[in-house]
Amino acid sequence: MQLGIGGMPNIIGQLLMEHGKKDLGIHTEMFTDSMADLIEEGVITGRKTSLNPGKAVHCFAAGSRRMYDFMDHNTSLAGFPVDYTNDPYIISQNEKQVAINSAIAVDLTGQVCSETVGYRHISGTGGQLDFTLGAYMSKGGKAFTCLHSTYKTKDGEVESRIVPQLERGDVVTVPRSVTSYVATEYGVVNLKGKTSWERAKLLISIAHPDFRDELEREAEEKNIIPKTLRGRKKRSFE
C-alpha cells in the first residue's frame, strides 16, 4: 500500500482498522502517522509482501512526535532513496500494490490535477504519477485517485471537482493515459481501457448529482460525447 500526503492517509488508516484488515504491507514515498498506528495494531505486518517482506519501505516521514518515537530504531521500517521507492518498475515488483492519492480536480478526459488551482501552487508533484503507474503495472495492483466531489469557494459557493476540462494554469499530475480508478463519495470508476466518451460518462456518474446535467451538457458541447451517442447514456450507465 502507498498513501499520498494530506488528510486522506489518516482517513484510510482509520477505515482499515475499523474493517479488520490483516497482513498488509507498505511500499510508499511518505511514511505517515496512520501507518505507525496500523503497524502497532498488527494490520500492517508485511508478512505477505513479495518484494521486501516484513519491512515498511519508505523514503521520508512526516507526522507527530509520537510517530517519530515509534520509528526510532524500529526494524520493521526500511528507509530507501527516492529513486528506489518511487521507481514505477520497482513499485510494480510488489504484487497487489495499491496506490491511494488525492486530487484537486479531475477533468472529463481523465486528466488529474493535484498540484495547483489555476496558477496558484498548492503542492509538489510528489510520487503520485510514479505510484499510479507502478500500482497499475503490479500484478493484481490498483491505483486510486480520491477526491471529494465538491468544494466550497471562499464566497461559500459549491463547485464541482470533476470539471469539463482543466483550467488555464492547472498542472496535469497524472495524464489521462495513466489514470485508472477514480473515487468520490458517490462511487468508484475505472477509466482504464475505456473510450473518451465512456470516461466522461463514468466520471459524470461519480460527480455530485447537482452537477451531472451541467457536465453532461458541456461534454456534449465540447464533443467529448459524440452526437451519435447522446441520449443513450441512461440505459447503459445507470
Which residues are marked as active site?
29
80 binds other proteins (CB under 8 A): yes
The b-or-e profile of 156-173 (16+ CB within 10 A means b, else e) is eeeebbbbbebeeebbbb
The cell numbers describing 103, all together, are 486530487
Q: Of the listed pieces 62-70, 104-112, 121-129, 220-228, which binds other proteins according to CB under 8 A?
A: 62-70
64 binds other proteins (CB under 8 A): yes
237 binds other proteins (CB under 8 A): no
How many residues lie near other proteins (CB under 8 A)?
31
Binding test (CB under 8 A) with other proteins, winner from 2, 28, 44, 55: 55
Binding test (CB under 8 A) with other proteins, winner from 14, 125, 177, 195: 14
The cell numbers describing 211, all together, are 452537477
Show Cβ contacts of residue 104 under 8 Å, excluding neighbours closer than 6 positions.
113, 114, 115, 116, 117, 122, 147, 161, 170
Separation between Cα atoms, residue 201 and residue 37, nearest integer Å:
38
Q: Of the listed pieces 59-67, 113-121, 152-160, 215-223, which binds other proteins according to CB under 8 A?
A: 59-67
61 binds other proteins (CB under 8 A): yes
52 binds other proteins (CB under 8 A): yes
Which residue from 91, 119, 92, 113 is spatially nearest to 101, judged by alpha carbons?
113
Q: Of the listed pieces 68-76, 103-111, 155-163, 219-227, which binds other proteins according to CB under 8 A?
A: 68-76
Q: How far is the CB of 225 from other proteins (least distance, A)?
A: 27
How many CA atoms does the CB half-sphere of 163 hold within 13 Å? 19
Q: Of the listed pieces 49-57, 134-142, 156-164, 218-226, which binds other proteins according to CB under 8 A?
A: 49-57
Q: How far is the CB of 218 from other proteins (least distance, A)?
A: 24
The cell numbers describing 62, all together, are 512526516
Separation between Cα atoms, residue 39 and residue 11, nearest integer Å:
16
H, E, C per residue of 51-114: CCCCCEEECEECCCHHHHHHHCCCCCEEECCHHHHCCHHHHCCCCCCEEEEECCEEECCCCEEC
3-state secondary structure of 15: helix
Of 95-154, binders to other proteins (CB under 8 A) are 148
17 binds other proteins (CB under 8 A): no
Of 183-212, binders to other proteins (CB under 8 A) are 185
93 binds other proteins (CB under 8 A): no
How many CA atoms does the CB half-sphere of 180 hold within 13 Å? 18
Residues forming the site for other proteins (CB under 8 A): 7-8, 10-11, 14-15, 33-34, 52, 55, 57, 61-65, 68-69, 71-75, 77-81, 84, 148, 185
